[in-house]
Amino acid sequence: MSTTTEAPAAAPSDFIREIVAEDLQSGKHTSVHTRFPPEPNGYLHIGHAKAICLGFSIAREFGGICNIRMDDTNPAKEEAEYVESIVADVKWLVNGWADDKIGLKPAGKTPEQHGNDFLQEPVTNGAAVDRVEPFFASDYFGAFYECAVRLVRAGKAYVDDMNPEQTDEFRRLGKDSPFRDRSVEENLDLLARMKAGEFPHGSRTLRAKIDMQAPNMWMRDPVLYRIKHGEHHHTGSAWSIYPMYDFAHCISDYIEGITHSLCTLEFEVHRPLYDWVLESLDFPRTLPRQIEFARLNIDYTVMSKRKLLQLVNDGLVSGWDDPRMPTISAMRRRGFTASAIRNFVLQLGVTKYPSLSEFTLLEHAVRDEFNRHAQRRFAVLRPIKVVITNYPEDQVEELNAINNPEDPDGGSRKLPFSRELYIESADFMETPPPKYFRLRPGGEVRLKYAYIIKCEEVVKDDAGNVVELRCTADLDSKTGGATSNRKVKGTVHWVSAGHAVNAEVRLYDRLFSVPEPDADGDFKAHLNPASLEIVQAKCERSLADANSNERYQFERLAYFALDPDSNPDALVFNRTITLKDTWAKEAKRS
């Protein structure tokens, strides 16, 4: 199945694209360079997909490039596993769509070589690549330090001996630290010794010297560096001081030649500091510009990595890629395609106002694509045996079944029909309610592509459970037969018992049962108890050759994809999405 089809869309226009276009027109920038800067402290979620698609789509539209940069300046929280998963997810999401727009890390440069020459020349060479290679902010530790020294020399930063609580308190009160007026020489000496690891964890900081009475709290002499002893996933124990986000991020952007630094709204108040740091450093090249947009929030889920990590650690899901999670890797595993996710986030557009988007919209995007591309197959999730007593015991007919009615070139396959079959147990009722058009004792139903059958006898076990339906078929009712046009109200799918392949089928539903699970701060109390049901299904013969690139519509049931746990001897399918929006029906009913 093709994963690159895009719904035709008008060229998007929004406040970010207007700024970018203006900056090109005015000559402020001659090319466009964006970046996606995840902190490797968890797996990427659908909100990140929005940031990724925005960065890459702007690069695509303006002939520019988008870097992937690990914002890995905090040694405590970051892990190599996360770096790998992030790279895999970005690659999957933009593959075939924007893979020639990825900033390439220059080969062969060690962090030691990086030094401050990065401050002169952008590190990116902008070559087209067929693989994703992330940049690491930690590669710029040398350059950050060089910048800190420059600020100290310019009288724009000082070493402070106050502890974090005192610092917070003084900032709140707008009071100068007693260490604010240290001499440049003393500051340089202390900073060098902080770097050399002479002082204990958390005992000193480097602070910007801006304005302790600034109305914007972020401008009240913010901390630029703190002392931390510990292993860093990328730089080991080389450093004893680590830069704060507000110091490292803007310099990283500058180093990589980023022109437009797109981020979510919570960074709006940091923007004066972003600009202050860059302007204070007297850089020769044009400075990047930070632009904020509203983050993506979706109903029926939680999105922050911290909360997702709790779900994983508490064993409430099977892992970061549990198909019920809102992570990109979970959605991939569940069977969502990259193109459907891209279409969804791009279609939402960018705004300056926070809002809650409906998960249903993503499901629409997925259904729309699957309806056009998914292969139709027969599978029975909760089987009940049907024996057609007037059908010869050793006869097998190979019936023609259409792969996709939406696709004239989709072709057909052979579906074996025999005396013993399975149908869905929900397609039979002993005492059905009104308007039930499927099988009942003495009633008739059409088996799709095959015959009309009549239920003659219901066989039960000692406990009274229905175990078998003995039926007769109207043997003239098949396509081309004398009674082929005879109408009965119900048509059901079926699988030939002797030809069926077994499969474990995982029926996923929403992880939470309320639209805003964290509204009361207790999201774990709102888990949907029915978010996963596992059944042992009987599938038509051709599904033995199912492959993970295809999506399948099990007719009358839902869309499915193979799970990575699957193997040819033990098939495992995930329900990616139901055929209709069952939650909308529920909402109307209640």
Who contacts 239 (Cβ-Cβ below 8 Å, separation ≥6)?
Answer: 141, 195, 232
For 56, phi then psi, to 5°, come to -75, -35
Site for ligand ATP in 49-108 (CB under 6 A): 50-51
If one asks whether residue 37 binds ligand ATP (CB under 6 A), the answer comes out as yes
Catalytic residues, by residue number, are: 39, 295, 305
Cβ neighbours, 10 Å, residue 251: 26
Q: Which two tokens stand for residue 98?
A: 């924007």
Q: How far is the CB of 354 from Mg ion (least distance, A)?
A: 16
Are residues 516 and 476 in contact, defined by beta-carbon separation less than 8 angstroms? no
Place of tokens 């437009």: 260
Binding mask 13-42 for Mg ion (x = CB under 5 A): --------------------------x---
Strand pairing partners for 508? Answer: 532
Are residues 142 and 241 in contact, defined by beta-carbon separation less than 8 angstroms? no
Quick one: which of 222, 432, 511, 382 has its CA closest to 443? 432
61 interacts with, out of Mg ion, ligand ATP, none, CB within 5 to 8 A per kind: none
Closer residue to ligand ATP (CB): 89 or 160: 89
Binding mask 292-331 for ligand ATP (x = CB under 6 A): ---xx------xxxx-------------------------
Residue nearest to Mg ion (CB): 39
Cβ neighbours, 10 Å, residue 431: 7
Q: How far is the CB of 245 from ligand ATP (least distance, A)?
A: 9
The count of chain residues that interact with Mg ion, using the rule CB under 5 A, is 1
CA dist 33 and 109 (Å) reads 21
If one asks whether residue 350 binds ligand ATP (CB under 6 A), the answer comes out as no
Q: How far is the CB of 71 from Mg ion (least distance, A)?
A: 7
Closer residue to ligand ATP (CB): 120 or 304: 304
Residue nearest to ligand ATP (CB): 47
Who contacts 156 (Cβ-Cβ below 8 Å, separation ≥6)?
Answer: 208, 209, 210, 280
Give me the DSSP letters along 459-499. Answer: EE-TTS-EEEEEEEEETT-STTSTTTT---S-EE--EEGGG
If one asks whether residue 342 binds ligand ATP (CB under 6 A), the answer comes out as no
Q: How far is the CB of 264 from ligand ATP (least distance, A)?
A: 4
Site for ligand ATP in 220-279 (CB under 6 A): 263-264
Closer residue to ligand ATP (CB): 295 or 438: 295
Closer residue to Mg ion (CB): 326 or 443: 326
* Vertex 24: Cα angle to 22 and 25 (nearest 5): 65
If one asks whether residue 39 binds ligand ATP (CB under 6 A), the answer comes out as yes
Closer residue to ligand ATP (CB): 202 or 354: 354
Are residues 564 and 546 in contact, defined by beta-carbon separation less than 8 angstroms? no
If one asks whether residue 403 binds ligand ATP (CB under 6 A), the answer comes out as no
Closer residue to ligand ATP (CB): 3 or 264: 264
The count of chain residues that interact with ligand ATP, using the rule CB under 6 A, is 15
User: 3-class SS at 149?
Assistant: helix
Interface residues with Mg ion (CB under 5 A) are 39
Interface residues with ligand ATP (CB under 6 A) are 37-39, 47-48, 50-51, 263-264, 295-296, 303-306
